[in-house]
Amino acid sequence: MGFVVEKDGAVKEMGIGRRVEENEATKGAVKPAKEGIVFVPETPKYTMDDLILPARVREQILDIAAYAANSKHVFEDWGLAKTHPYSKRLGINLYGPSGTGKTMAAHAIASYLRRPILIVNYADIESKYVGETPKNIRKAFNAAKETGSILFFDEADAILSRRVTDMTSATDVSVNQTRSVLLMLLNEYEDFILFATNFIENFDPAFMRRISLHIKFELPDYDCRFRLWQRYIPKEMPNDLDCAYLAGQYAALTGSDIANAVLLAAFKAARHGDSLVSQAYVEEMLGHIRDGKAANAGQAVTTEKRVVSEAYVRQQVQPEDKQTH
């Protein structure tokens, strides 16, 4: 179950989701915010028990979860609020290849803290109207505060330093406005906030300085691959798969790769009317996955900075009822 933060500050329960836009189909079903967007926290989908990660990464995840759980004790009882006045905002960045468990870990952290999670992607906040994207970011922060949610920016490189390959002057200005507003909101935020990215090298240094800890997610080792193969092969599915062989023979795989290989092989077996899912089918699918990755490797990414005045940023982050029209 999720929550909707309405304009009057009321918090109402609603179905799980992220963003609602008013159109002819939804008009009257949900009362949206002024610009037609509401941010809806979700109940975490995963727990710490669901994570299959190398021991080092798992230990770091547990450390930051404990940090958030004990922040009141550390800052107030032990007095660190006086010596570390800017550390109440705990920003954690989860980075590494796609499919290595970053989003799952964010859900598990929120579950550990017994809090809903509010997931924000760039598509959730981007607007074709000038100046609306920064306002949407502010709405996401406000929604997290009102509902007590863990704020999670997934694919955060698109927000913290948007990758642009075909730039126009309008795009340049919009991107930098969004970046500046987010910086100011981060400076003022006093809660736990998570980021995840596949491209940490694209982060603006100003954001890097405001993130307390960066946790690197790497490709699973043999032990993790073995456990992932076991997880994604259901007991009900007849098969001749050798998990130990697959884990040892195919090293450069993510959890998503393994899950997809099993699923695609199962559908192929079903299409052919086979009595079981064969290892040959799984290895065939792994070959397709490997080829797709090889074709995708080496794509160029470009970034660029522009300057936006502090006055503009202040105007974008102040409450709507205080803005002059």
- The CATH number that applies at residue 37 is 3.40.50.300
What CATH number corresponds to the domain at position 236?
Answer: 1.10.8.60
Please report the pLDDT score of residue 31 as a whole number. 39
The 8-class DSSP code of residue 21 comes to -
- What's the CA gap between 14 and 2, in Å, rounded? 5
Lookup: tokens for 200: 């940490």
Residue 187 clears pLDDT 80, i.e. is over it: yes
In a domain, 241, yes or no: yes
Q: Are residues 161 and 274 in the same domain?
A: no
In a domain, 303, yes or no: no
Among 184, 218, 252, where does a domain finish?
218
Q: Are residues 64 and 204 in the same domain?
A: yes
Choice between 155 and 277, residue whose per-residue pLDDT is larger: 277
Mean local confidence (pLDDT), 12-17: 40
Choice between 283 and 8, residue whose per-residue pLDDT is larger: 283
Three-state DSSP state, 118: strand
Q: Are residues 101 and 205 in the same domain?
A: yes
Report the relative pairing of strands 192-197 and 150-153 from DSSP bridges.
parallel
In a domain, 314, yes or no: no
Q: Are residues 20 and 118 in the same domain?
A: yes
In a domain, 152, yes or no: yes
- What's the CA gap between 119 and 19, in Å, rounded? 10
- What's the CA gap between 194 and 144, in Å, rounded? 12
- For the stretch 20-65, pLDDT in tens is 444 443 344 333 444 468 899 999 999 999 999 999 999 999 998 8
Per the prediction, the chain carries an average pLDDT of: 80
Q: 31 lies in which domain range?
A: 2-218
Contact status, residue 196 vs residue 93, Cβ threshold 8 Å: yes
- For the stretch 135-164, pLDDT in tens is 899 999 999 999 999 999 998 988 887 544
Lookup: tokens for 153: 């920016």
In a domain, 273, yes or no: yes
Q: How many residues does the chain have?
A: 325
Q: Are residues 140 and 272 in the same domain?
A: no
Mean local confidence (pLDDT), 80-109: 88
Among 218, 241, 272, where does a domain finish?
218
Q: Are residues 57 and 23 in the same domain?
A: yes
Q: Are residues 139 and 238 in the same domain?
A: no
Lookup: tokens for 77: 């009882």
Q: Are residues 148 and 279 in the same domain?
A: no
In a domain, 320, yes or no: no
Residue 15 clears pLDDT 70, i.e. is over it: no
Q: Are residues 52 and 153 in the same domain?
A: yes
Q: Are residues 114 and 188 in the same domain?
A: yes
- For the stretch 97-111, pLDDT in tens is 999 999 999 999 999
Closest by CA to 151, choosing from 187, 110, 181, is 110
Q: Are residues 233 and 175 in the same domain?
A: no
Phi and psi torsions of 193, nearest 5°: -140, 140
- For the stretch 242-254, pLDDT in tens is 999 999 999 999 9
Residue 177 clears pLDDT 50, i.e. is over it: yes
Please report the pLDDT score of residue 226 as a whole number. 98
Choice between 16 and 123, residue whose per-residue pLDDT is larger: 123
pLDDT band at 66 (very low <50, low <70, confident <90, very high): confident
Q: Are residues 196 and 249 in the same domain?
A: no
Please report the pLDDT score of residue 295 as a whole number. 87
Total number of domains constituting the chain: 2
